[in-house]
Structure 1
Amino acid sequence: MTRLYHFALSPFCRKVRLVLAEKKIDVELVDERYWEPSNEFLRRNPAGKVPVLKIDGMNLSESQAICEYIEETRPEPPLMPRDPAARAEVRRLCFWFDDKFHREVTANLVYERVNKKVMRGGYPDGKSVKTGAQKIKYHLDYMGMLLDHRRWLAGDSLSLADFTAAAHLSCLDYISDVDWHRSEVVKDWYAKVKSRPAFRSILADQIPGFLQPPHYANLDF
């Protein structure tokens, strides 16, 4: 059995979940309190981070490495283009969201509003929340610029870049921190992504102490 050690509101875990679901790979989800790591968990990943995927007799860590392993060993349906330049663009956008977007937005909003409470780390830092709320505008505008010229974020086909971006935005959407009125093209793109069967388990997530907003699981917002 393939097993994913995860935290439900981690964008990196959601990214892996989306890829597994798109590839129709059955997986057992194991909630992991990675901020209180056990010796057993540290043996799976000495870095003490989620996600960790147990597959093919191995424990894999780091979401991009996990997703590319899945893509290489289970190539259908494809989430990476064949053309080297197109693959480079997918990877560029994956790192854009997992690095720049995560530092500027996800960490300042989701981690401050949710993770601190869950992990008993104190109250949200108002300055960080304000920074995240400002920075997300730039990122939504950038996505809108890309989608004005492309069907999907990285090109004409759905790719790992779309799932990476959607994983981060879905976490923010859970706490109503995305202004979907800012860009109709981004809103339409997200509606397409979250309408896919692979998104069903993401939309069913329930975080203790944090209720879903009414629109969260609504495919038409």
Structure 2
Amino acid sequence: MIRLYHSPLSPFCRKVRLVLGEKRQEVELIEERYWEKSVEFLRRNPAGKVPVLRMDGKTLTESGPICEYIEEKIAEPALMPPTVDGRYEVRRLVMWFDDKFHHEVTANLVYERVNKKLTGEGYPDSSKIKAGAKAIKYHLDYMGWLLDQRRWLAGDTLTLADFAAAAHLSSLDYISDVDWNRNENVREWYAKIKSRPAFRSILADQVPGFPPPPHYADLDF
């Protein structure tokens, strides 16, 4: 059995869950209170971060290498293009969402609104929330521009780039921080990816004290 130590609203954990789901792999989800830095957890990952994946008798950390490990280990369905240029574009966009989008949007919205309360770190910083709410508009417009030219974010096929983006947006959607009316291309893309079987466990997530909005699990918004 594959075992994933995760936090429900972590986009990095969600990305791994989506890849495993798309590869039709059964996984045991273990919610980890990583901020408590238990000795047992730090043995699994001295960095004290989730996700941590137990697979093939190995303990794997960091969502990027984990996803590429899964991709190389389980070939079908492929989530990386066959060409070097195609793989570059996927990796570029994965980094866009896991670095730029994360620091400008996810960390300023999900982490401020939810994580601070869960971890007991204090009250949300309103200036960061305002910055995140402003930044997401730019990112949605950029995604819309990409989808004007492509069927999926990185090209004509579904790739890891789409799951990286969807992982962040689904975390934000859980707290109603995505304006789906801003760009029709992005709305249609998300409805399409949200309907995939890999998304089922994501849409079933419940964080105590933070109920999702009614549209969160609605495949037709």
Q: What TM bracket, shorter-length normalisation?
A: over 0.9
User: What aligned pairs does 1:2-81 form with structure 2 within 5 A after superposition?
Assistant: 2-81=2-81
- What is the one-letter code of the residue matched to 2:29? L
Q: Which amino acid letter does the alignment assign opposite residue 114 of structure 1?
A: V
Aligned length: 221
Identity %: 74
Note the aligned Cα RMSD (angstroms). Answer: 0.4
SS at match of 1:3: strand
For residues 125-146 of structure 1, the C-alpha deviation after alignment (integer angstroms, 9 at most, x for no partner) is 0000000000000000000000
Q: Distance in 1 between matches of 2:92 and 2:81?
A: 13
Aligned twin of 1:125: 125
Deviations along 1:80-114, one digit per CA (max 9) or x if unpaired, are 00100000000000000000000000000000000
Which runs of 5 or more structure 1 residues have no equivalent in the other structure?
none
- Matched with 2:88 is 88
3-state secondary structure, aligned to 1:29? strand
CA–CA separation in structure 2 for the residues paired with 1:75 and 1:123: 45
Q: How does 1:143-162 map to 2 (within 5 A)?
A: 143-162=143-162
* Deviation string, structure 1 residues 40-65 (Cα, Å, up to 9, x no partner): 11111110000000001110000010
Could you tell me how far apart the structure 2 residues matched to 1:7 and 1:205 are? Answer: 10
Structure 1 length normalisation: TM-score? 0.99
The separation in 1 between residues aligned to 2:43 and 2:116, in whole angstroms, is 25
**Shift in Å at residue 37 of structure 1?**
1.4
What stretches of structure 2 of length at least 5 have no aligned partner?
Answer: none
Equivalent AA in structure 2 for residue 152 of structure 1: W
CA distance in 1, matches of 2:57, 2:211: 37
Q: Deviation string for 1:105-124 (max 9, x for gaps)? A: 00000000000011111110
Instruction: Report the residue type matching 1:165 in the other structure.
Output: A
Q: How far apart, CA to CA, are the structure 2 residues paired with 1:41 and 1:123?
A: 26
Q: TM-score, normalised by structure 2?
A: 0.99
Q: Using the alignment, how far apart are the partners of 2:117 and 2:78 within structure 1?
A: 38
SS of equivalent residue, structure 2 residue 5: strand
Which amino acid in the other structure matches residue 176 of structure 1? Answer: S
2:35 match: secondary structure: coil
Q: Following TM superposition, where does structure 1 have runs of at least 4 consecutive aligned residues deviating by more than 3 angstroms?
A: none
Q: State the one-letter code of the partner of 2:55.
A: I
Q: For the residues of structure 1 that align with 2:120 and 2:40, how far apart are their CA atoms?
A: 23
CA distance in 1, matches of 2:91, 2:219: 27
User: What SS does structure 1 have at the residue aligned with 2:54?
Assistant: strand
